[in-house]
Amino acid sequence: MENILKIKDLEVEIDNRKILKKINLDIKKNKITAIIGPSGCGKTTFLKSLNHLIQEENNVKINGDIFLGEKNIKNIEGEILRKHIGLVSQTPTPFPFSIYKNMTYAPIYYGEKDKKVLDKIVKEKLEDAGLYEEVADDLKKSALKLSGGQQQRLCIARALTSDPEILLLDEPCSALDVQNTNKIENLLKKLSNKYTIVIVTHNLFQAKRISDYIAFFLDGQLIEMGETDKIFSSPKDKRTEEYIKGIYG
């Protein structure tokens, strides 16, 4: 199976403190990989190092290499990299504009001018995110007037407008109720046919329901990575087993 991202000896230091230590792992194409581990273990930092967001913070030092396909991401400019690797954060963050403008923001920024093409992107990506039917008649409505679940799906749709290969999601359901969480989980399952998905989640049941692979982080280290079924049924490391049984946070 093809590895779309290869992470080699990744270390991240913030304010002279090692936050991530020698992380080695591969992300499989068109699969869902869940990153799990207790609060503060470095999940968000890991996600942000995959699309150069961490580099934009102060006092950050990075060692090691990350390959997107054959290309070292060191040699890809942040803005370009983020076209390939989109990030959806924990709380929905629509721009304070219309739904339509949220959806055309990136395409226009990257130079698309043709109204027909833009309309097509808006429709297609809202459909991909399972939101189109709910908003089709009202694309001029402010995105801030959508419900929380709709806003999160809009953020996913917006992340898709630059046609990324990889979608990173940092606890995308933590502010949502069960129904909206279900919708997003079903959506991610479907999207993994087209996109590679890396999702951080605190929710082990969610990881079990939707992921193909699990990476368990503890204290800045990758303890274990494997197929989801195997991680749950026969973890290799005692710490993974303890975490899955609910012994750590």
Shortest Å distance, C-beta 105 to ligand ATP? 26
* Kind of pairing between the strands at 221-227 and 166-170: unpaired
- Contacts with ligand ATP by CB under 6 A lie at 14-15, 19, 37, 39-45, 57
Q: Which residue is nearest to Mg ion (CB)?
A: 44
Shortest Å distance, C-beta 170 to Mg ion? 6
For 33, the token pair is: 């990989």
Tell me the per-residue interface mask from 30 to 49 with Mg ion, x by CB under 5 A, - otherwise. Answer: --------------x-----
| Binding site partner of 249, from ligand ATP, Mg ion, none, Cβ cut-off 5-8 A by kind | none
With respect to ligand ATP, which residue has the nearer C-beta, 37 or 107? 37
Shortest Å distance, C-beta 14 to ligand ATP? 4
Label each residue of the chain as H, E or C.
Answer: CCEEEEEEEEEEEECCEEEEEEEEEEEECCCEEEEECCCCCCHHHHHHHHCCCHHHCCCEEEEEEEEECCEEHHHCCHHHHHHHEEEECCCCCCCCCEHHHHHHHHHHHCCCCCHHHHHHHHHHHHHHCCCHHHHHHHCCCEHHHCCHHHHHHHHHHHHHCCCCCEEEEECCCCCCCHHHHHHHHHHHHHHCCCCEEEEECCCHHHHHHHCCEEEEEECCEEEEEEEHHHHHHCCCCHHHHHHHCCCCC
| Binding site partner of 223, from Mg ion, ligand ATP, none, Cβ cut-off 5-8 A by kind | none
With respect to ligand ATP, which residue has the nearer C-beta, 12 or 135? 12
Size of residue set near Mg ion by CB under 5 A: 1
Shortest Å distance, C-beta 128 to ligand ATP? 27
With respect to Mg ion, which residue has the nearer C-beta, 89 or 181? 89
Taking alpha carbons only, the member of 195, 205, 130, 208 closest to residue 168 is 195
DSSP SS3 for 126: helix
Per rule CB under 5 A, is residue 151 in the interface with Mg ion? no
Shortest Å distance, C-beta 16 to ligand ATP? 10
Shortest Å distance, C-beta 95 to ligand ATP? 23
Shortest Å distance, C-beta 58 to ligand ATP? 7
| Binding site partner of 184, from ligand ATP, Mg ion, none, Cβ cut-off 5-8 A by kind | none
| Binding site partner of 41, from Mg ion, ligand ATP, none, Cβ cut-off 5-8 A by kind | ligand ATP
| Binding site partner of 39, from Mg ion, ligand ATP, none, Cβ cut-off 5-8 A by kind | ligand ATP
Measured distance CA(194)–CA(210) in Å, rounded: 15
Give me the residues that bind Mg ion (CB under 5 A), please: 44
